[in-house]
Structure 1
């Protein structure tokens, strides 16, 4: 079984055209949700911008370990607050 964090890391390494294809497949799978064309266009632009930053080496990134620690701390805070 593929762990979500591993899958996420693999997906984020895909080229932009493959990300778009994957999103299209997921949209089809979810089916009955209405997709807002303006939102889709805005997300496409955001994905392109972020991909360009990563390619240029100007993106601020975090390691998988840092991201996992962030999520764990967030879970702890929510649990302490009674929200999950």
Structure 2
């Protein structure tokens, strides 16, 4: 038994193109937002690794990473941002 394949009509193609024209900008905005979120997450991970390396190097040198001066600068930055 043969099954018939559906052949889209010109009206079907017009409707399809109209739907694509309406939805495409919305999806592009969504994709751009997702790209920004993923980039931010990647940067956060890189920054955490970099911070951990700095702390590790300071410990290897026998230095204190979180000095009172550094803690004060961190506190000032936190206060300025809030």
- Normalising by structure 1, what TM-score? 0.30
Decide which structure has greater helix share: 2
Larger Rg: 2
The structure whose RCO (Cα within 8 Å, separation 6+) is larger is: 1
- Normalising by structure 2, what TM-score? 0.30
